Structure 1
Amino acid sequence: MRPDFAVSPNSDAINASSAWEAELSLGFAQRGDKTVLAKREHRGPLTVQRPFYPEGGVCHVYLLHPPGGIVAGDQLSITATVEPDAQALITTPAAGKFYRSGGGEARQNVNLQVAENASLEWLPQETIVYEGARLNSTMSIDLADQAHFIGWEILALGRPAAGEGFENGTANLNWRISYAGRLLYLERLRLDAEAFQARWGLFGHSACGTLFVYPATAWQLAAAQELIGDEANRGVTLIEGLLICRGLDRRADLLKGFFEKVWGLVRVDVVGKAVCAPRIWAT
């Protein structure tokens, strides 16, 4: 174990020999009237709890990272495959944490594959990027024909409650979404001290996030626009059936609350179920 890093965000130099390389591979399949976790393989400190079924057949899974935080040199790889007709929801029991770095980079790669008539909801709690951290995150989502997906990413840069901004450090965020073998969306975003403060960037807001929904319709776009109304720092667009909702806020929990409302608007149409928030969010 690495308890010193789990409790201290102020480690400026990380010994390469202490870095974690962790891999997790999950497979979901429909068995009878419910989705089961048919495959679970892991290496290193990355695993899942037993599945939960708070809404019948949808399989809810919580990702666990026992060290409690990610430091320079750590490399995490997560793969999830959802077979035809299966329905899965993946979340986390707590916020992810990327700690201060002395110069090295921490990497996280997530690869999600959703088959025909299947649905996947990727709804992790927020990721806290401490001042001085260096994060490189890649999300790759491959959707088959008639696949359904809802996913979000919420970042909290620095710790404003502790008087910490984001005067140094970087977060490189990469999203790639394909549908039926065709590239649908590609984004590369770099957040640093300049982007954190600039009017063209976050303008001092510590929380930022993006929500993706596929397939989406003009009706859902209009519903999200009505929800936003005149509220500042919120936006939504629809590109080739992909709903993209963005937000800035001073607190990550407020931004997550907004995304949950959008989730409530679209879930019945996309997943065929009313919203059923994971119980772990209430603890």
Structure 2
Amino acid sequence: MTALPTAQQFDTVQPLATSRMQRSTGCGRIAAKPGRNGETRLGSLFQEGSARIRLPKSHSNGRLEAVLLNTSGGMTDGDRLQWSADAGANTHLTLASQTAERLYRAPTGTAEVDVRLSVKSDATLHWLPQETIMFDGGALRRTITADLAQNAELLICEPIVFGRAAMGETVRQGRLRDDWRIRRDGRLIHAEAFRLDGAVEEKLARESVASGCRAAATAVLFTPRAEALLDRVREIICGSGGASLFEDKLVCRLLAADALALRRKLIPLLITLRGGHDLPRCWYC
């Protein structure tokens, strides 16, 4: 019969070595090229790891739509995603995410997303992912860089939600850093850096920050037609944020109590910025 260990022997037992938890990485790249009769066709596609790109059938009059997926089901510390999109000359490319991206608790580090966009001469690229949802303790560092030709059009929108109101969730602690750098013909035309960390719920409650709102979105349109849209955009936003015009750049900010309230403003806003064209179908699923 084997004797049970004594209390002293228990005290001398060494803990098992902790192994590093598995993390997800993904890289997805897509390029569009002009086809016959003015339509846009797929030029190249690469996907690796948890990054997937799908090309659903659409009725977008020759435009190319791509849907981005993160098969890991969310992100936490140590996860890495990289997306690259290249709209070739005389093409129209729209990218959206299949669903909202989720930022789960990150005990020791930060999830990272790197977005790189290129828009050639007489091309249009619309970057329209659905919401990023941050859970309590989530952490994200995101960078977006874009290079535009002189007569190219770019629309970027990034919505974020701090906890799901319908589930009674709050984000007491978290970390978010968002850096955008947009260049046209090599000249920097837009730069912004957003940082929110520490006591997220407490900071969002401040009147100078968000007055208790838990959902926000930034949409920026770079195009010569921006000025003609300013009045209509301000009508849509109507007290939920603001819109400013800087030469050929229209910057829109939105705040809302929750994700549903944000969408009620954001969807008509994006349709207007897209010249009346509807959003990809995944936005309505």
Query: Separation in 1 of the partners of 2:109 and 2:83?
Result: 21
Deviation at 1:17, TM superposition (A): 4.3
Aligned pairs, number: 263
Corresponding residue for residue 188 of structure 1? 193
Query: Separation in 2 of the partners of 1:122 and 1:85?
Result: 17
Any residues of structure 2 matched to 1:4-23 within 5 Å, and which?
16-23=20-27
Contact 2:227 2:250 survives alignment (8 Å): no
Deviation at 1:160, TM superposition (A): 2.3
Which amino acid in the other structure matches residue 173 of structure 1? D
Contact 2:115 2:144 survives alignment (8 Å): yes
Which amino acid in the other structure matches residue 81 of structure 1? D
Corresponding residue for residue 257 of structure 1? 264
Deviation at 1:102, TM superposition (A): 0.8
Q: Which is higher, the Rg of structure 1 or of structure 2?
A: 2
3-state SS in 2 of match to 1:195: helix
Deviation at 1:15, TM superposition (A): 6.3
Query: Separation in 2 of the partners of 1:112 and 1:252?
Result: 26
Corresponding residue for residue 255 of structure 2? 248
- Aligned: 1:158 with 2:160: no
- Aligned: 1:78 with 2:83: yes
Question: After superposition, what is the alpha-carbon deviation per residue over 1:39-82, rounded to whole angstroms, capped at 9, x for unaligned?
Answer: 11122110111343322200111101111111110011111111
Deviation at 1:233, TM superposition (A): 2.8
3-state SS in 2 of match to 1:132: coil
Query: Separation in 2 of the partners of 1:266 and 1:50?
Result: 23
Corresponding residue for residue 217 of structure 2? 209
Question: After superposition, what is the alpha-carbon deviation per residue over 1:185-211, rounded to whole angstroms, capped at 9, x for unaligned?
Answer: 111101232532222212221101101
- Aligned: 1:224 with 2:233: yes
TM-score (normalizing by structure 2): 0.87
3-state SS in 1 of match to 2:209: coil
Q: Higher mean Cα deviation, 49-58 or 78-87?
A: 49-58
Which amino acid in the other structure matches residue 253 of structure 1? L
Corresponding residue for residue 8 of structure 1? none
In the superposition, relative to structure 1, how do residues 16 and 241 fare at CA in structure 2: closer, same or farther (>3 Å)? farther
Contact 1:133 1:169 survives alignment (8 Å): yes
Question: After superposition, what is the alpha-carbon deviation per residue over 1:88-113, rounded to whole angstroms, capped at 9, x for unaligned?
Answer: 11101211111111121100010000
TM-score (normalizing by structure 1): 0.88
Identity between Structure 1 and Structure 2 (%): 28
Query: Separation in 1 of the partners of 2:28 and 2:231?
Result: 38
Deviation at 1:221, TM superposition (A): 1.2
